[in-house]
Amino acid sequence: MPHPATIAGVRIPRWVPGFLLVSMIWGASFTFIKLAVDGGLPPPWLAFVRCLTGALTLALVCLVRRESPGRDPVTWLHGLVVALLLNTVPFTLVAFGETHVSSVFAGLCNAVTPLATMAFAVALVPAERLTGRRAAGLGVGLGGVLVLLGVWRGLPGGTLAGALACVASTVLYGAGFAYTRRFLAHRSASATGLSTVQMVCATAELAVLAPLSGEAPRWPGPIAAGALLALGALGTGIAYILNLTVIRTAGATVASTVTYLTPVWSTLLGALLLGESLAARHLAGGALILAGVLLVQWRATGRRNGKRVPAGCPRAVASDAEPAILVADGDRMDEGRPDDEAEPDHRRGEGRQEPLVRRTHREPPRPAEAGGAVRHLPDVPAEGRGG
């Protein structure tokens, strides 16, 4: 196993560069969207090309890894619902929103996704319950949204519509992730396969809905076209693979903290590359939203297999740029351990990557594993998903 890099005498785990790159790609997705819509590409067609590019990228990954998306019709039916909630509608809403608001605003709005996910999970997932801390987190996050919108200032009609579209997309992400956790966690397909199903379904849905929008597709120019291809290929494909690598080497708990860096990158890139203004209410609202996310996600330290592990963060990441990152029942990810301390797993050969989603119908755990083998889908991203 490669040793961590050393900078100024401090060891840097080898997953850190990939972790930072994932957060930057997902944060940059809002900049890519802004470039595409400013080039004149209608939002429904932007969403279609984005999903098509993402689907092709993930299909190529499946081909290289010799993984099948699956032939179970029930999985594909659930995939149609998940695609509608996580891709088809929210991708269109964010693109529409960025025709009226800045990419900085859209990126900060996306930080609401974990809060919306928790709200829907309480309603859809029997194991979830609304504690006092989570209720406080939802309240603080809602306050952050109101500050971000600047409701006391009043908003012009177009700006208000764009802002509400961005907020509505995060609500749909929350519903989609909760639905995925409830109905797809037990499916016997790899995470790459399930995400491919989702993106194929989204592409098919948009192939029908985009022409019905009444807006004809047009060539947006080379810069906008390049941004759109990067949005699909990088945000859905490359970042997805990098994030799975981070989950495997650093643990899903560590990987989940990318949620907090994505709005930072979207803000920096929007301000530096697009010259967008950053108001004090953006900083205050974003800080309140992230504080609410921390309250919702943080839990007391627990024990697994006799070892103390942090249980506060979700076990996987879902971003607007990433369709779905699934960590389901029974997977060992050496969670919470740095890569140079992870216990070796002699059950799999070197270079072999096991699927992240396994069958849940298996032998009962051995006594040493009891109480520590079950993982669930995250409370919070292809891709994932950025905007």
The answer to whether residue 142 sits within a structural domain is: yes
Whether 316 contacts 325, CB under 8 Å: yes
The answer to whether residue 70 sits within a structural domain is: yes
- pLDDT tens digits for 77-109? 999 999 999 999 999 999 999 999 999 989 888
The answer to whether residue 380 sits within a structural domain is: no
**Token reading at 226:** 């390049």
C-alpha–C-alpha distance, residues 269 and 28, integer Å: 7
Residue in the structure block whose two tokens are 């029974």: 330
The answer to whether residue 350 sits within a structural domain is: no
What is the per-residue pLDDT for 3?
Answer: 52
The answer to whether residue 382 sits within a structural domain is: no
Whether 30 contacts 387, CB under 8 Å: yes
The answer to whether residue 156 sits within a structural domain is: yes
The answer to whether residue 384 sits within a structural domain is: no
What is the per-residue pLDDT for 156?
Answer: 67
Counted domains in the chain: 1
What is the per-residue pLDDT for 204?
Answer: 97
**Token reading at 176:** 């989609």
The answer to whether residue 387 sits within a structural domain is: no
Which residue numbers in the chain have pLDDT < 70?
1-10, 154-157, 185, 252-254, 256, 299-387
pTM of the model: 0.72
CA-nearest of 310, 286, 285, 316 to 298 is: 310
Whether 55 contacts 177, CB under 8 Å: no
Query: 28: domain range?
Result: 13-300+308-336+365-369
C-alpha–C-alpha distance, residues 93 and 33, integer Å: 11
The distance from CA 39 to its chain's CA centroid, rounded to whole angstroms, is 26
